[in-house]
Amino acid sequence: MNDHTFLGKSITPLHASEKATGQAVYAGDLRLADMLTGKFCRSPYAHARILHIDTSRAEKLPGVKAVVTSKDAPGQRIGRWVWDRPVLAEDKVRHTGEAVAAVAAVDEDTAEEAASVIRVEYEELPVVANALEALKPLAPVIHEDLGSYQSSHPEHNGSGNVLHRVHIVAGDAEKALAAADVVHHESYSTPRVHQGFTQPHQVVASVDLSGKVTVWDSTKAPFVIRAALAQVLGLPLARVRVIATRVGGDFGGKGTVNIEPACVLLAMKSGCPVKMALDFREELIATFIRTSSYIDLTSGARRDGTLVAVKAKVIFDIGAYNDGFTGSADGYSLVQGPYAIPNVDIEASAVYSNSTPTGNCRAPRAPQQCFAAESHMDGLARKLGMDPLELRLKNVLKGGERLPTGGFVGRTGIQQTMQAARDFLAKKEEKRPGEGWGVASTWWSVHRVGGEGSPSTAWLKLNEDGTANLFTGCTEQGGGQHDILVQIVAETVGLPPEAVTVVASDTDTTPYEQGTGGSRTTYRVGTSVRLAAEDARQQLVAMAANKLKVNPDNLRLCDGKVFVEGTPGKEVTIAALCAEAITSPRGPVVGIGEELREARLGQSREDKDVLDGLQTGTHVVKVAVDRETGKVRVLKYFASHDVGFVLNPRNVEGQIDGGVVQGVGFGLTEGLVTENAETINASLRDYRMPRAGDAPAAIDKSIIETPSKYGPFGARGVGEPPTVPVAAAINNAVYDAVGVRLTSVPLDPAKIVAALKQKK
């Protein structure tokens, strides 16, 4: 496939053996001397004023070492982008399960007992069950001081219970719809779902004599946690150290501050290290899960299938607190699907309610909007009497288009993913009664060349035997990210992967990194690592050229050697160069890589607004629907993704496999069920994640490699998109199978039976 030595190959995963044998150390595995266990006291009410908290009984309990409430961090707020929540509830509680106090005791039983004897006097307030209720004119206001949270981000221009409103406009959608040959309208909704990682949030906090705070954390974004802790504790960043231990899955749920501040406060107050770990009930009611949504969609097309307009109203129910949900317009343009549409009118808002808080979950906002957009395309195709895939191919973005949000579509392989789906479908066998095929496409546009957020940085230290230590703030949360980074170093510097050690995930010892998320690792972190390795490579080349008395342009690095191309035997080992460097005035070889610094080189103004690393895909699914029970079974699955360049086939396949199964859960089984804002299925038994039997037996794949301009070796990444189109594809297949179209996930058997009954 390529002429690389270590790229495009599946190397032995760095963390596989320690995980397989149980020797990997997660935050929950840590045992420090005199370590206490911390537990939360949580609110039984969804919305209530706190009149009084009496911690005296808890404090008197033998074995209890510290109790903290909002009095220990008065007025402090935490969050990401929007700092809207207290460390512990202060004046009121805004959702059932909100933490009101925390205790640290010598063992878990004592801590639990102590938490249970804290007496909180509440005054119940009217509950705002969901975003639709919250938007009613006389709805109670959940955040009285919304303005102050929003002030630092002008795009958060909401009011009342609306955190932000976004209006994306291009052309005149109203007029175009009126003139369209065919108009299709439908309303969709999706529930809250948990990220589904297996390791719950776990934190150990310790404070040394100098007051320096060290936190071992299940986070995938230690620098984000450090920033939040420093702010809430009033400490300089140099006095807070966050170490991300091994992470047992994340999917967006472990990138922002959560239980850390309370844990640190307990450690400060008790003078002992404290461990806190959530159980899965807490995970489901009190962490930051996938936002529920209400999406109203109208589109218009000409008779030949050319899309002329889309009009959408998108409401995201962000629950009691918002975590990492920005008002950026890019995230809402996903509702138009990956299609060129001249007239666009999207009104989107993020709305508070007294429900479980929400935040980032693999491709935040995308599965919800894709479920709507791609179910909608299928419905439109049926109305037009067209093949749904042909309708998509007719309208698909081909690159170069200007989006209503202002960006330009870079080079993209989405058309090829659709063609791959067409090829797959061309060979499809006849469907039997109750069986159907469905298609859905996705696009994910996180990488504007000009860049939002933080650039990634990496350092590469070469040891005196030519082996290397790669420094990155990037945390491996199970996706094999470190494997890829090591491969990039190995390829660039000409070393075997075993010769590279990764120093990562520690705010004290690694360069700044905003976190492993947003499908940014390969594209952005990978670029910084490539640049660090390239910097080191150039130093080695200069030294070797000097030593061998040759033109540096003729030198190549491979197998731990620098050699002269075409002159066998004229070579020097990297080890020899590094050993010499370390005792010579030049000093040891250290490479520095900063991504955006390089990305900007030679880049025009237009380029800056280009979505260079667009990640796209098209899925095909075959399902069988049992008309009696309503049960949907996934029979076949095909996924085609444009990843730009395959750095590591196993990792790409793993992301697709995992994403599809997660999407099956979103499509068929998962979803928090609430009654008046109280979650009634807050256990792993009742909250039904897909099990082995629910997953497709195999997932056929077609990997497209349309190189991005700035990703390492053209890579785009593939961490998030595979989960996005699954629910829509299944929904479209259900329609194909039994002729009913649901407009909400999960595609619950009962809903299907009801729809079939109604259709009859």
Binding site for a copy of itself (CB under 8 A): 14, 17-18, 21, 23, 31, 33, 208-210, 212, 227, 230, 236-239, 241, 451, 453-455, 457, 459, 461, 463-465, 467-469, 471, 498-501, 503, 506, 508-512, 582-588, 590, 592, 594-597, 599-600
Residue type at 527 in one-letter notation: T
Cα(700)–Cα(568) distance, rounded to whole angstroms? 44
Active site residue 155: no
Tokens read off for 420: 């791959």
For a copy of itself, the closer CB: 22 or 62: 22
**Strands 674-675 and 678-679: what pairing?**
antiparallel
Q: CB burial class (10 A; 0-12, 13-18, 19+) of residue 144?
A: exposed
Handedness of CA 730, 735, 738, 742 (dihedral sign): positive
**Residue partners of 145: CB distance under 8 A and separation at least 6:** none
CB of 597 to a copy of itself, least distance (A): 5
CB of 1 to a copy of itself, least distance (A): 28
For a copy of itself, the closer CB: 578 or 734: 578
If we measure between CA atoms, which residue out of 45, 82, 86 comes closest to residue 69?
86
Q: What are the CA-CA distances from residue 748 to residues 321, 369, 383 (Å)?
A: 28, 19, 25
CB of 537 to a copy of itself, least distance (A): 17
Cα(538)–Cα(556) distance, rounded to whole angstroms? 10
Strands (E), 575-631: 590-594, 610-611, 615-625
C-beta of residue 157 within 8 angstroms of C-beta of residue 327 = yes
Q: Find the largest Cα–Cα distance for the chain.
A: 86
Tokens read off for 324: 């990492």
For a copy of itself, the closer CB: 94 or 241: 241
Cα(272)–Cα(263) distance, rounded to whole angstroms? 11
Residues belonging to the chain: 760
Residue carrying the six token digits 């999406």: 295
C-beta of residue 276 within 8 angstroms of C-beta of residue 101 = no
For a copy of itself, the closer CB: 546 or 584: 584
CB of 558 to a copy of itself, least distance (A): 17
CB of 602 to a copy of itself, least distance (A): 13
**Distance, C-alpha 660 to centroid of its chain:** 15
Residue type at 482 in one-letter notation: H
Q: Hey, is 163 helix, strand or coil? A: strand
For a copy of itself, the closer CB: 17 or 683: 17
CB of 98 to a copy of itself, least distance (A): 29
For a copy of itself, the closer CB: 32 or 550: 32
CB of 227 to a copy of itself, least distance (A): 7
Task: Give the number of other CB atoms < 10 A from CB of residue 590.
Answer: 16
Q: Hey, is 102 helix, strand or coil? A: strand
Catalytic residue (one of 513, 595, 705, 720)? 720
Tokens read off for 346: 């999207």
For a copy of itself, the closer CB: 306 or 469: 469
For a copy of itself, the closer CB: 314 or 462: 462
If we measure between CA atoms, which residue out of 451, 444, 293 comes closest to residue 366?
444
C-beta of residue 331 within 8 angstroms of C-beta of residue 214 = no
C-beta of residue 92 within 8 angstroms of C-beta of residue 48 = yes
Cα(438)–Cα(749) distance, rounded to whole angstroms? 18
For a copy of itself, the closer CB: 160 or 450: 450
For a copy of itself, the closer CB: 604 or 758: 604
CB of 230 to a copy of itself, least distance (A): 7
**Distance, C-alpha 32 to centroid of its chain:** 31
Tokens read off for 647: 């750095």
C-beta of residue 703 within 8 angstroms of C-beta of residue 664 = no
**Distance, C-alpha 256 to centroid of its chain:** 11
CB of 484 to a copy of itself, least distance (A): 18
Could you give the residue numbers annotated as active site?
720
